[in-house]
Amino acid sequence: MRFHFEGTGTHVTQRLASGESPARPFHYRTTPSGRTALQCGTRSLTALATEFATPLYVYSGDQILDRFRLFQRALVDRDHLICYAVKANSALAILQLLAAEGAGFDIVSGGELERVRAAAPEALDRVVFSGTGKTADEIDLGLEAGILAFHVESEAELALLAARASRLRRKARFSLRVNPDVFAETHPYISTGMSEHKFGIPIAQARRIYRSARHHRWLAPHGVSVHIGSQIRSADPFGAAMRRVVRLVRSLRTDGIDLRCVDAGGGLGIDYEHASAFDPAATAQSYLKAITQALDDLPARLVLEPGRFLVAQAGVLVARVLFVKKNGRRTFVITDAGMNDLIRPALYDAWHEILPVQPRAGRALVVDVVGPVCESGDFFARNRRLPPVQPGDLVAILDAGAYGLAQSSNYNSRPRPAEVLVRGREARLIRRRETMADLLAPEIPLSSSDQKTINKRK
């Protein structure tokens, strides 16, 4: 079956084979009034923007579950656990969806642990705790919650884990996060698997550290973990990293240390720029084949930590055009969404396809799509060919389901957007739009007496 998504100046064809999820759940349909409009499943983005205002994040829950099930089906014959990377999108409703499917969770902070507790307390024993700088309080939270394992990134962290476990008299299962010194072609800000990076323990030192910890009363060597980066498009680096991990696990077994799981981390990327050529099922299959072939017959549970691959293409940021402005030779489409709502283009020079929600007839123009934030770096696209838009029109910034709201801020004292989750024919508000009262609530202004005291000191 083929879907043809089309609008003026934009033609995207998606292939949907049996059992696959399409690369994107957003498509154009003709409305009863005869206008072509972009939809999420059966729900009109125009109607959602009218009901919930803009800027607005819209997610397809059906797409998220489809992506998750790609992994579940492919690994049905192997002991495994899919731990969703909470940092990609930590909306409680999304955590609930995935927990109900049997997902575990990869967290990197005590705050993310509390999100899992709020969304799905029954899944706490399916949590792995990653991150280079865990505090004593965060470790205590994890121990008291009975999480599956801590991913330890340094000898100093292992010593702190041992001390906290001893104090609480709770066994701490741990996996060393090893750094395999494997190069993965991705943005340098999200590459983590080389010896020059802050993450993990050099794999050559891991055997000694496991040996030193195996007889500690409150430490339990559980597995080994590796994560080489994010937005990786080739399966080869994953296979190379896993082969090195397998050699380590086999050597540890000769020492009498029988690790129960191998955590291959996350990092599987999507194609932001050429979604029409992106086949999620084939991508997942290639990735899993590289990992499982490297594992060979190793009797260990496989843990994976996908984030972006599950949620990125399930989300859009809907914005309204405020002005169309010419400065010399450049044309600027100024929207009500800004870099505080979606920072990826400003931070990584990341590409996001942008579509008009209701395309107009006319010739596409080369424009810069920018926001209202008082920074020259506040842009979503530069020198981008875009179908004509006018003030009041809606545009959809695609593939914004990962690291969108999760990296947002209140810069320029801008309240963050609302979030809506679409499943089937239902659309639910899962996060209300922030208000100025929300922004001001934590602040403590000076009292009149404080001001008088300060003025006297002058």
Does the structure show a pLDDT above 60 at 11? no
Indicate yes or no: pTM above 0.85: yes
Q: What are the chain's domains? A: 2-60+313-440 (2.40.37.10), 61-310 (3.20.20.10)
pLDDT (0 to 100) of residue 190: 42
Paired strand residues for 423: 426
Could you identify the residue written with the tokens 């801008």? 414
Dig out the tokens for 98 from the structure. 């995935």
Q: Average pLDDT in the 15-44 region? A: 75
CA angle 380, 385, 390 (to 5 degrees): 75
Mean pLDDT in the chain? 90
Query: Per residue in 306-328, pLDDT tens?
Result: 999 999 999 999 999 999 999 99
pLDDT (0 to 100) of residue 197: 54
Query: Per residue in 78-89, pLDDT tens?
Result: 999 999 999 999
Query: Per residue in 118-162, pLDDT tens?
Result: 999 999 999 999 999 999 999 999 999 999 999 999 999 999 999
Confidence of residue 13 (pLDDT cuts 50, 70, 90): very low
Query: Per residue in 377-412, pLDDT tens?
Result: 999 999 999 999 999 999 999 999 999 999 999 999
Does the structure show a pLDDT above 60 at 5? no
Q: Average pLDDT in the 275-279 region? A: 87
Does the structure show a pLDDT above 50 at 443? yes
Residue type at 185 in one-letter notation: E
> Strand, coil or helix: what is 353?
coil
Neighbouring residues of 241: CB distance < 8 A, sequence distance ≥ 6: 180, 182, 193, 226, 228, 264
Confidence of residue 199 (pLDDT cuts 50, 70, 90): low
Dig out the tokens for 160 from the structure. 């702190």
What phi, psi does 274 have (nearest 5°)? Answer: -130, 60
Does the structure show a pLDDT above 90 at 283? yes
Q: Average pLDDT in the 167-183 region? A: 90
| Cα distance between residue 158 and residue 301, in whole Å | 22
Mark out the alpha helices in 227-386 (DSSP H runs): 236-254, 280-295, 308-311, 344-348
| Cα distance between residue 272 and residue 404, in whole Å | 14
Q: Where are the beta strands (DSSP E) in 328-433?
A: 330-335, 354-356, 365-370, 379-386, 394-397, 418-423, 426-431
| Cα distance between residue 377 and residue 357, in whole Å | 25
Percent of the chain with pLDDT over 90: 82
Query: Per residue in 225-247, pLDDT tens?
Result: 999 887 887 888 899 999 999 99
Higher pLDDT pick, 185 / 159? 159
Confidence of residue 20 (pLDDT cuts 50, 70, 90): very low
Query: Per residue in 88-114, pLDDT tens?
Result: 999 999 999 999 999 999 999 999 999
Does the structure show a pLDDT above 70 at 70? yes
Catalytic amino acids?
374
| Cα distance between residue 398 and residue 313, in whole Å | 7
Question: Considering only 29-43, 98-112, 256-270, 389-403, which range has the smallest mean pLDDT?
Answer: 29-43
